[in-house]
Amino acid sequence: MHLRAWAFLALSVVTGGAGACGSSSGGSGAGVTGGQSSGASSSSGSGAGASSGTASGGGASSGGETGQPGDDLGSAGDGGDAGGRRQAASADAGKTKPADGGGSATVVTCPATALKPGDTNASVMVGGVMRNYILHVPTGYSGKTAVPLVLDFHPILSNDSYEQTNSGYATLADQEGFVVAFPDGIDNAWNIGPCCTTSRTVDDLGFAKTLVTTLEMQACVDLKRVYAVGYSMGGGMSHYLGCNAADVFAAVAPAAFDLLQDSEEPCHPSRPITEISFRGTADPIVPYAGGASNPPNGLNVTIHFLGAEGTFQKWSQLDGCTGSPSAPDSNGCSTYAQCQAGVEVTLCTAQGGGHVTGDPKIGWAMLKAHPMP
């Protein structure tokens, strides 16, 4: 049942790269994400969808006015409050610009003050809890034209800083011109229903939605091009948002994680939504074939994955796809292209690959081709 897999976490280090297993240091388990662990210990036992990494909390900002260019963004209020403040900011700006590319025909009101390119640590209040994140504004951002927004979720036992450093989306954002935020999970995990935060009342769905609303107010964001990506447990959060927030996120790109059985966490997206997954056939953490797994952080729960192929089929059913998927291309990607509302479902498989991070360039090419209808 693959209940030993998460025991590899504390000993494994990934070198990254598209479809690569990575290398392991100090133990077995090639392809497991990792880094120097601080403030969190990996546990023996088993599970899937995890990676060790820098586990100290990150991203909290002290001081700095919300949205102040070049400084920490500070904290913002709850999502509903952010929406009201955005209306005031829009009235001050008084300028609208069409969204740039991506097939979106929306007209977006840009904030009067443009954020400066670079990285800032920030926080936002969600249900009375302060949540942290890192915001990366791309090189060349002017604040005058609406750009896409990507939320990039980190693995379990890791944090926002790890994901920012290793996922490749910060570099890609500079090349492609989108804003990317790296949320920080409570308990160094994400709550996707039956798993995996030890604090079971964490509202990560609310966090993701509030973060989008907050960043819409601070940056010139095209709300038809908001996307979720993530690695390992962060991939699980991306799946979760596809299932539960398709009214906010246009498409999702999870890596190294699968959907859970319906009896544990049903998936009922409000509309057809494009999804692209990256998986390795020799993944020691989230078995490619699916099955039972336990998280590595002491949470006393067993979850059951559908497997890579099972998840591929499930998304094709949810999106009303017809016909057969394409043959795998040179990157191992197979696609259902005949789906409702023009969406697509893709599985990119690395033969012999481990706990793969996937290729952000391939993921982004699929995401940006599918804005919100």
pLDDT tens-digit readout, 253-268:
999 999 999 999 999 9
CA distance 293 to 39: 24
Residue ranges of alpha helices (H) inside 261-353 are: 308-318
Given this model, what pLDDT does residue 215 score? 98
Percent helix / strand / coil, the chain, rounded to 5: 25, 20, 55
The chain-wide mean pLDDT, for the chain, equals 81
The three-state secondary structure class of 182 is strand
Residue 52 CB contacts under 8 Å (≥ 6 apart), including other chains: 9, 10, 11, 12, 32, 33, 34, 35, 37, 42, 157, 158
Strands 147-153 and 74-76: unpaired
Residue 9: is its pLDDT beyond 80?
no
CA atoms within 13 A on the CB side of 99: 22
Arithmetic mean of pLDDT, 7-19: 37
The C-alpha angle 42, 355, 189, rounded to 5 degrees, equals 45
Domains and CATH numbers, the chain: 5-368 (3.40.50.1820)
pLDDT at 106: 65
Nearest to 258 by CA among 327, 347, 143: 347
CB contact set of 8 (below 8 Å; sequence gap of 6+): 24, 27, 28, 29, 32, 284, 285
Cβ atoms within 10 Å, residue 213: 22
pLDDT of residue 38: 34
pTM of model > 0.85: no
pLDDT value at position 108? 86
Q: Residues 265-312: pLDDT tens digits?
A: 999 999 999 999 999 999 999 999 999 999 989 899 999 999 999 999
pLDDT for 316 beyond 80: yes
Closest CA to 46 of 8, 13, 17, 75: 8
Query: So what's the pLDDT on residue 65?
Result: 33
Torsion of CA 366, 369, 371, 373, to 10 degrees: -110
Can you give the length of the chain in residues?
373
Please check the confidence at residue 369 and state whether its pLDDT lies above 90.
yes
pLDDT per residue as tens digits for the range 318-335: 999 999 999 999 999 999
Is the pLDDT at 67 greater than 50, yes or no? Answer: no
Tell me how far apart the terminal alpha carbons of the chain are, to the nearest angstrom.
Answer: 40
Q: How far is CA 106 from CA 51, 147, 213, 351, in A?
A: 39, 11, 17, 41
User: Which residues does 345 contact at the CB level (< 8 Å), separation at least 6?
Assistant: 274, 275, 276, 312, 315, 316, 319, 321, 325, 335, 336, 339
pLDDT at 4 over 90: no
